[in-house]
Structure 1
Amino acid sequence: MATNKNSDKNNKLPKRFNPYWIYALLLLFIITTFFFNPTSTAKEISWLQFEQNILKEQDVEKIVILNKEIAEIYIKQEKLEDDEDQSISKNIITGETRPQYYIQIGAVESFENKLENAQQHYTSEEKIEIKYESSLNWLDTFLWILPFALILVFWLLIIKRMGAGGVGGKMFNFGKSTAKLSNIDKKSKVTFQDVAGLKEAKIEMMEILDFLKNPENYTKLGAKIPKGILLVGPPGTGKTLLARAIAGEARVPFFSMSGSEFVEMFVGVGASRVRDLFKQAKEKAPSIVFIDEIDAVGRSRDKINAFQSNDERENTLNQLLAELDGFGTNTGVIVLAATNRADILDKALLRAGRFDRHIYLELPTKEERIEIFNVHLKPIKKEDNVDVALLASLTPGFSGADIANICNEAALIAARKKKKKVDQEDFNQARDRIVGGLERKSKIISAKEKEIVAHHEAGHAVASWYLKHVEALVKVSIIPRGKSLGAAWYLPEERQIVTKSQFMDQMCAALGGRAAEEIIFHEISSGALDDLEKVTKQAYNMVAYFGLDEEVGPISFYDSTGLYDRILGKPYSENLGKLIDTEVQNLITTQYKRVKEILTTHKNELQELAQLLLVKEVADKDDLEKILGKRKENNMLFKTSKLKVT
């Protein structure tokens, strides 16, 4: 019990000074000054009134000349008992009699002469006692000091609001690290159980954690603790989530901050914060330091970026390199960093001995997406008909953050419909909402435009139905979504490589909408902008990057370092550039002719599907099979072809 009492005493927060005491003291000072001021209740009179009404009646007991400015007149005691002077009282604090009247005098000599002449005139045998006193007028002094005090209080409040906490506070500590420290005793809400997928990354992280907890198992074999671990991957793949899970599992001090927090407007602040961060980490070793978005300070310092140089950022990077290089004894300190722009990081930062390990986090596979869905579906009340495997199949290329967004959007849709549980249809609508945008049924489209849109989407559907290497078609819609007027929804295969024939069929299906407009209406519109953009980029990738063109040959101008994007000009000659443009044009026109032949052959089916879309606005798989017949399907995933608004 004694231990608990001691711990309670230690845990008590120190008592803070109450500012209301200052206000109370000021009020007390004003009241005291008022009562101590002898002339505060005295009545001011002129010399003529004093001479004729008081001095003539011989009522004066004494006169006190205060600070050579005021003559305080005290009336005799027996005169104070008259009815006229009953209101005159004593000071309630000191008990002394107050002066009853006072006169503002110009000069002491003049007042004395007047008084002496008056006394002789009224033949008074008793001379009036005159005293000279000097005292400080506290009220005037207070009123003089008050403006300066208010200015001082105002600036102290401003400094406090800025986070200064007074002179010598945080305002003068801008060179200190702003890293957030997770205490060992504080249980983190995120653990490795909350991180679905990323099996290889979790294995490496568990090895690092085991090194921190049991270093003797490794050091006895001569192994050294890794200094830095770099997490690289597209946005939303779980880099920060993995770091938070490490904080929950490590049970060691965990410092976390963003790369942008190192750079401030003051010169030298970034390097100072790096030093202070590693100083704190070494004092609490073994510990983990996590720097999110390290590319904010770790950008490359090559000549190409010379015109974008930032001395403050480079000084911060140099200090970080020095800390990682081992000029200080960083034993037991592991640095984690996350970025989705590893190509722009400085080479000195990535070399062995600094960031020893690079962990690449890729977009999740179908099996990993099932695990991610199961994690995010735990807090959601869902119906039994929700098929997690189907949801994973319909979300290829989705990151963990995208899947979390789908689950949340489905719950919002169900709540909007006043449902008690979320069903499969809500998840399908959430997927369509995220991929294609919000439905805009209120968008006004003329009958002619709607007819063009219907034949455009029917062209995509018919062309893809009869092409071998195009993914299975799920549904066709002419309901406007986002910036698109219609869309064809596919289930693409989840594959790692794409063959030349697959590229050809995809380009051919993408041009089906424009070809259908030309066949049916004998003219073309601007609605195929999105399709043409995709086809053109795909053709250039085939010719200039993947080396799939026979005329250009097996040559690739793809640059994984990103240097070509930062220089003026192209990495190939003018003649080769003309050849690439020619081959791209031939490739696209060949596929356009091919899709026109397919749609001309199946023109009746094209028109029938378009009429169905005009009536129902949406054609699902069953409707497509009734018109186009059965089609062989593979293990497929999900994408869309949109008719873009221009």
Structure 2
Amino acid sequence: MSKYGKEIMIGLVPVVIAFLVFMGVNVVPIVLMGVILGSLFYMTRMRAGVGGVGGDRGKTKSKPPAYLTFEDIGGQERAKGELKEALDFLIKHEEIKKFGIRPLKGILMEGPPGTGKTLLAKAAAHYTNSIYVAASGSEFVEMYVGVGAGRIRDLFKEARQRAVKENKESAIIFIDEIDVIGGKRDGGQHKEYDQTLNQLLTEMDGIHTTDAPRILLIAATNRKETLDSALLRPGRFDRHINVDLPDKKGRLHILNIHMRNKPIADDVSMDKVAEETYGFSGAQLESVMNEAAIYAMREQSELISQGHLSKAVDKVMMGEKTDRETTSDERKRVAIHELGHAIVAEHVRPGSVAQVALSPRGKALGYVRHQPQQDQYLYTKPFIENQIMVALGGAVSEEIFYGHRSTGSKGDFDQALQLVQTMIDSGLTELGIVNLQMVTKEEYTKENGAILDRLIATTHEVLANYRPVFEQSLEILIKEETLSGDRFRELMKQFSTAA
């Protein structure tokens, strides 16, 4: 109602009441009813968020949605290309009709955590101008039978209703962690899981690609091998897209995206940061830029420097520095342990050590930072054996100086065992090319032990020959807590020259 309408009513109501009184009408019930109706009308408007003076108090102003485009996602050019091609089947109606192509019902994205699967799904909704409805696999898991199946039905129903309401031709349903409800059925699962999966299969079979609005299901998983074959067959998830960790070019793209709103110093080399972050996911790279900004703010610096970025890489990789106080004996043992890693690394791959540090960070009491290496996806037997030797270097150096090991080698042993398993899986051991299901536990244990015993002996020989480097580096490391790679190599070179 306009303000003029309100003024007319305010002036008219008293006149009407006065006229009714003049005519001898009892106006008390009428006034009472008017007060009640007015109060109800006012409360209704307030609850709806449009009441108050001028009609503005309590009003919730909706903001335009923030869209995410494929250009906002870095490091996944191949995955974006595959996804766009699949999405074109959803929007290019005339072309697919001409060639008799059936639009896709489902797209499965597989890859490590933090690689951008959820972001790709959101960008897909914008690319196709679709409604976006998202859920996690864990949301459908309940102890009560039938609840998960009901939620699946509601999810598809909501997507269709929203598409119709907003006049959209299509809707994208995104289910993260689909392996929670889509795992292989072996008869041992809880009945609720089976009912939820069966309902999902039913809904996918009920997607008619010619109906409007069109429904496309996009799912994400870190473990495609655990999914039920009924989900993976054509006609359900027709496209399987790998969303891998980004390569150097991809990492640089991601870093450049996240540096847009940050004050970066002119001499900062993002190319160097991209090299140092080998094996990082997109989420970790975003965290690197955020942590670098936090370091700059702590130091009250107006610009983010290369040093801030290096600290951020260390923090994301190994955790924040801690205030643990260690005894002098522990510090010496940790220093010997880390120097063992560094000497073996420099021996098998010269120029690889960037820094040896004695400062506690995360769960580690010390660490060796390596120079960035080129992206590598194929590994030879000698390369893996060298990596195992680097991992064993800390424990072996403790044995040389103390005659026994400590619990500080647990993480190193886990890494070594994983590398040995990679060799066995790849047919790079004396077992040859084998099906691991046909290898007995005794055979596996024997081969695993033989590889580690041989490489421990080789590592022991290498470190025993570098004892003078231990002694010279140990004094510097305990005193200064850090030893740069260049200074460490000078000590290695001095020993080699003297020898």
State the AA in 2 paired with 1:455.
I
Aligned runs of 1:436-447 on 2, under 5 Å?
436-440=318-322, 442-447=323-328
**One-letter amino acid of the counterpart of residue 361, structure 1:** V
Q: Hey, what's the Cα distance between the residues in 2 that align with 1:261 and 1:533?
A: 33
Q: What 5-or-longer segments of structure 2 have no aligned partner?
A: 3-27, 29-46, 48-61, 495-499
1:583 alignment partner AA: E
8 Å CA contact 1:455–1:607 kept in 2: the answer is no
Instruction: Give 1:523 deviation, angstroms.
Output: 4.4
User: Structure 2 CA distance, aligned partners of 1:208 and 1:583?
Assistant: 46
Instruction: Give yes or no for the alignment of 1:199 onto 2:83.
Output: no
Q: Distance in 1 between matches of 2:288 and 2:273?
A: 10
The 1-side partners of 2:433 and 2:139 are apart by 46
Bigger drift between 444-453 and 411-420 goes to 444-453
One-letter amino acid of the counterpart of residue 385, structure 1? D
The alpha-carbon distance between structure 1 residues 328 and 223, as it changes in their structure 2 partners (threshold 3 A), is closer
Rounded to whole Å, the distance in 1 between the matches of 2:421 and 2:377 is 19
Mapped pair 1:629 → 2:486: no
Aligned residue for 1:479, secondary structure, equals coil
Structure 2 partner of 1:606: 470
Taking the TM superposition and a 5 Å limit, the aligned residue runs for 1:26-65 are: none
Partner deviation per Cα, 1:444-478 (whole Å, 9 max, x = no partner): 2222222222222222212221224x781111111
Structure 1 contact 282–330 (Cα < 8 Å) conserved: no
CA distance 1:312–1:516, shift in 2 (3 Å)? closer
Do the aligned partners of 1:454 and 1:613 also contact (CA within 8 Å) in 2?
Answer: yes
CA distance in structure 1 between the partners assigned to 2:90 and 2:445 by the alignment: 57
Q: 1:467 to 1:323 in 2, by over 3 A?
A: same
The C-alpha deviation readout for 1:155-209, integer Å capped at 9, x for no partner, is xxxxx9xxxxxxxxxxxxxxxxxxxxxx9x9553311111112112222332344
TM-aligned CA distance change 1:320 to 1:510, over 3 Å: closer
**Cα RMSD, aligned residues only:** 2.7
Deviation of 1:269 after TM superposition, in Å, equals: 3.8
Mark the CA change 1:203 to 1:525 in structure 2 (over 3 Å): closer, same or farther. closer
Partners of 1:390 and 1:542 in 2: CA distance: 31
Number of residue-to-residue matches in the alignment: 428
Map of 2:88 onto structure 1: 210
Which of 492, 497, 505 is equivalent to 2:378?
A: 497
Alignment pair present for 1:293 and 2:177: yes
Equivalence for 1:479: 359
Matches within 5 A, 1:235-384: 235-264=113-142, 267-282=145-160, 284=164, 285-303=169-187, 306=188, 308-309=189-190, 311-326=191-206, 331=211, 332-384=214-266
Match of 1:547 among 427, 439, 442: 427
Q: What is the CA-CA distance between 1:329 and the residue it aligns to?
A: 6.5
The question of whether the paired residues in 2 share the 8 Å contact of 1:187 and 1:248 is answered with no
Q: What is the Cα deviation at residue 629 of structure 1?
A: 2.8
Query: Contact 2:359–2:366 at 8 Å: present in 1 too?
Result: yes
In 2, distance between residues paired with 1:471 and 1:298? Answer: 47
What amino acid is the match of 1:341?
R
Q: Tell me, what secondary structure is at the counterpart of 2:220?
A: strand
For 1:456, the equivalent position in structure 2 comes to 337
Q: Tell me, yes or no, if the aligned pair for 2:105 and 2:207 is still in contact at 8 Å.
A: no
CA distance in 1, matches of 2:218, 2:421: 38
Q: What displacement does 1:402 show?
A: 0.6
- 1:435 CA drift (Å): 1.4
Q: Does 1:400 align with 2:285?
A: no
Q: How much has 1:258 moved relative to structure 2?
A: 2.8
Please give the alpha-carbon distance, in whole angstroms, between the structure 2 residues aligned to 1:628 and 1:314.
62
Report Cα offsets for 1:43-74 as digits up to 9, x if no partner. xxxxxxxxxxxxxxxxxxxxxxxxxxxxxxxx
Tell me the TM-score normalized by structure 2.
0.79
Aligned-partner residue type, residue 616 of structure 1: E
Q: Of residues 203, 221, 226 in structure 1, which corresponds to 2:104?
A: 226
Tell me whether 1:424 sits opposite 2:288 in the alignment.
Answer: no
Is 1:514 paired with 2:395?
Answer: yes
Q: Give the CA deviation at 1:264.
A: 4.9
CA–CA distance in structure 1, aligned partners of residues 263 and 235 of structure 2: 49
Question: What is the DSSP-based 3-state SS (H/G/I as helix, E as strand, rest coil) of the residue aligned with 1:357?
Answer: strand
1:320 CA displacement: 1.8
For 2:156, give the aligned amino acid. Answer: F
Q: 1:352 deviation in Å? A: 0.2
Is contact 1:275-1:319 (8 Å) kept?
yes
| Contact residue 354 and residue 486 of structure 2 kept, 8 A | no
Contact 1:263–1:313 (8 Å) recurs in 2:
yes
CA distance in 1, matches of 2:157, 2:206: 13
The CA distance in 1 between the partners of 2:346 and 2:96, in whole Å, is 59
Identify if the C-alpha distance between structure 1 residues 268 and 579 changes in structure 2 by more than 3 Å, giving closer, same or farther.
Answer: closer
Aligned partner of 1:590 in structure 2 is 454
Question: How has the CA–CA distance of structure 1 residues 444 and 279 changed in structure 2, closer, same or farther, with 3 Å as cutoff?
Answer: closer
Match of 2:484 among 620, 629, 633: 620
Q: How many angstroms apart in 2 are the aligned matches of 1:320 and 1:313?
A: 11
Moved more, 212-221 or 225-234: 212-221
1:208–1:514 CA distance, 2 compared to 1 (3 A) = closer
Contact 2:174-2:219 within 8 A present in 1 as well: yes
Cα distance in 2 between the residues matched to 1:507 and 1:269: 49
Q: Which has the higher contact order (CA 8 A, sep 6+)?
A: 2
Amino acid of the structure 1 residue aligned with 2:70: F
* Structure 2 Cα separation of the partners of residues 534 and 430 of structure 1: 23
Letter matched to residue 301 of structure 1: R
**2:444 corresponds to:** 580
1:329–1:437 Cα change, 3 Å: closer
Unaligned runs of 5+ in 1: 7-92, 94-159, 161-182, 558-570, 631-646
**For residue 132 of structure 1, what is the aligned residue in structure 2?**
none
How far apart are 1:533 and its partner, in Å?
A: 2.8
Q: Quick check: which one's helix share is greater? A: 2
- Computing the radius of gyration from Cα coordinates, the structure with the larger value is 1
2:366 is paired with a residue of what secondary structure?
strand
User: C-alpha separation between the residues in 2 aligned to 1:294 and 1:411?
Assistant: 35
Do the aligned partners of 2:359 and 2:365 also contact (CA within 8 Å) in 1?
yes
Do the aligned partners of residues 315 and 443 (structure 1) sit closer, same or farther apart at CA in structure 2, a change above 3 Å counting? closer
Measured at CA, do residues 346 and 186 of structure 1 come closer, stay the same or move farther in structure 2, by a change above 3 Å? farther
Are the aligned partners of 1:232 and 1:360 in contact in 2 as well (CA < 8 Å)?
yes
Question: Residues 429, 467 of structure 1: CA spacing in aligned structure 2 closer, same or farther, 3 A cutoff?
Answer: same
So what's the TM-score if we normalise by structure 1? 0.62
Q: Is the 8 A contact 1:262 1:270 kept in 2?
A: yes
State the Cα distance separating 1:425 from its structure 2 match: 0.7
3-state SS, counterpart of residue 268 of structure 2: coil
Task: Please tell me the residue identity of whatever aligns with 1:275.
Answer: R
| Conservation of the 8 A alpha-carbon contact between 2:288 and 2:309 | yes
Question: 2: CA distance between counterparts of 1:253 and 1:536?
Answer: 47
| 1:467 corresponds to 2:351 | no
Structure 1 residue 350: deviation in Å? Answer: 1.0
* C-alpha deviation, 1:572, in angstroms: 4.1
Q: Which residue of 2 aligns with 1:102?
A: none
Other-structure match for 2:408: 527
How has the CA–CA distance of structure 1 residues 218 and 596 changed in structure 2, closer, same or farther, with 3 Å as cutoff? same
* Change in CA separation of 1:273 and 1:522 when aligned onto 2, cut-off 3 Å: closer
